[in-house]
Amino acid sequence: MSREVHNGPTDDNQARGTDTSGDAEGGEDAIALAQLPLDAWHRARGGRMVPFAGYEMPVQYEGIMAEHLWTRDHAGLFDVSHMGQLLFSGEAFDVALETLLPGEITGLGEGRMRYSLLLAENGGIHDDLMLTRLPAANAFEIEGGAIYMVVNGATKWDDLGVLREFLPDEVVINHLDEQALLALQGPQAVTALERVVPGVSALTFMTAAAFEWQGNPLWISRSGYTGEDGFEISLPGDAAEAFADALTAQPEVKPIGLGARDSLRLEAGLPLYGHDLDLETTPVAADLGFALSKRRREQGGFPGHARIMAERESGPIVKRVGLIVDGRQPVREGAMVLGSEGSEVGKVTSGGFAPSVQKPIAMAYVPLALATPGTRITLAQRGKVHSAEVVAMPFVPHRYVRKG
């Protein structure tokens, strides 16, 4: 038995677009891997550790399927401490960030979050990220205003290079590499977290505020990467174990690995950098138009503005769509989309068996003519042809708790 075709976030190099297989057992030359604050905690709970983004991380505990379904029904605790947490402060930090990101930052209210993209000169995507404008009361002891940003783990060092190169020296970048980051996701996340940190239920989707737990400052947002209601909690690394214990002591909460994180985000229709997004994809082709705010579209001043606006006008050549595959066999990243002549016209960028849908699903880039929901599509994988249908995403309805 071999393991040779893979996808999902189990690979140190995938987000750099290198051609390696993300072996769930970490079957690649291990470079020196770093340990995260919860390393021993995961092992003590039976976490199967694999190399990912330069760290050893738990891909699963009891099993991906059970963890996935637990999160949809109850609450799952994810360690996402590998992700980069950055602070931007100093003179006109928000104006400066707008030169690299296409979203509304100067007009972003305190405690409000936005999804955004770090763009390359040609409109390609260096990374996707979340940013928040910090209020005076924040957990990071920073005064005079700042933007808190969370970027992908595998790309954080490259991102820092780009940010440092293009932002003026007056903007201070603080890499919070001592901070842990935990995500508590699922319909019972609010019940469990409110018990541990009273007051969090007042947050609504895409807002954040400072809290405290046993003398430790917490920065908590109501956001996540599963399509469920939930929270992301930034806290000092040396408090992470005790806090994770407090959360998993709640009957609603179980620890969840990276495997289920990937299947949950796929069902939620959320792209994964290094797979569904990279330097070759533009925000328009990736169907992330919502990240381009109206004022910024009109005024420009971000990398690739002209190309992105032209693409919005004429339509992209290919577009990211969701697929439900016929039958039961998963069609995964790397499979080809075939045109009527049998030639390759697009590619599958993420795919797998969807535990909550009980069908194989995928994301793919297909020519605009094939991108309408309901269109039948032919795929080829390892010499075998599969049929699929283009569907609107998400595959599982989002259950975010929005304001009023």
User: CA–CA distance from 86 to each of 12, 129, 152 (Å)?
Assistant: 21, 11, 11
Task: Output the CA torsion sign for 369, 370, 376, 377.
Answer: positive
Q: How many residues bind another protein (CB under 8 A)?
A: 30
Residue from 84, 227, 259, 274 touching another protein (CB under 8 A): that is: 259
Residue ranges in 373-392 that form contacts with another protein under rule CB under 8 A? 382
**Is residue 32 near another protein by the rule CB under 8 A?**
no
Nearer to another protein (CB atom), residue 196 or residue 363: 363
Shortest Å distance, C-beta 224 to another protein: 20
Q: CA 226, 364, 21 angle in degrees (round to 5)?
A: 80
> For another protein, which stretch binds (CB under 8 A), given 5-13, 34-42, 162-170, 269-277?
5-13
Q: Three-state DSSP class for 125?
A: strand
- Which of these ranges, 96-104, 242-250, 350-358, 368-376, lies near another protein under the rule CB under 8 A? 350-358
Q: Candidates 10, 71, 152, 188: give the one binding another protein (CB under 8 A).
A: 10
Q: What does the alpha-carbon distance between residue 83 and residue 67 come to, in Å, rounded to a whole number?
A: 21
Residue 89 or residue 263: which is nearer to another protein going by CB?
263
- Taking the complex as a whole, how short is the minimal distance between the CB of residue 259 and another protein, in angstroms? 6
Segment lying near another protein (by CB under 8 A), choices 83-91, 200-208, 288-296, 324-332: 324-332
Please report whether residue 64 would count as binding another protein according to CB under 8 A. Answer: yes
Q: How far is the CB of 354 from another protein (least distance, A)?
A: 9
Rounded (5°) CA angle 220-253-197: 35
Q: Does 332 bind another protein (CB under 8 A)?
A: yes
Backbone φ and ψ for 207, nearest 5 degrees, come out as -125, 160
Q: Does 60 bind another protein (CB under 8 A)?
A: yes
Report the C-alpha gap between 46 and 42 in whole angstroms.
Answer: 7
Residues 263 to 302 in contact with another protein, rule: CB under 8 A: 263
Specify the residue for token string 């603080």.
Answer: 174
CA distance between the termini of the chain: 54
Choose the binding region for another protein from 61-69, 101-109, 138-146, 147-155 (rule: CB under 8 A).
Answer: 61-69
Phi and psi based region of residue 279 (left: phi greater than 0; alpha: psi -120 to 50; beta: remaining): alpha
Judged by beta carbon, residue 251 or residue 327, the one nearer another protein is 327
Q: Which is nearer to another protein, 269 or 352 (CB)?
A: 352
Look at strands 253-255 and 75-79 and give their pairing.
parallel
Q: Which of 18, 106, 329, 387 binds another protein (CB under 8 A)?
A: 329
Determine which residue in the list 32, 141, 328, 340 makes contact with another protein, applying CB under 8 A: 328
Q: Does 303 bind another protein (CB under 8 A)?
A: no
Please give the full DSSP string across 77-92, using - where no structure is assigned.
Answer: EEE-TTSEEEEEEETT
Q: What is the C-alpha to C-alpha distance for residues 331 and 363, in angstroms, rounded to an integer?
A: 10
Residues 185 and 315: their CA atoms lie apart, in Å, by 35
- Where does this chain bind another protein (CB under 8 A)? 1-8, 10, 23-25, 59-60, 63-66, 68, 259, 263, 328-330, 332, 352-353, 355, 360, 382
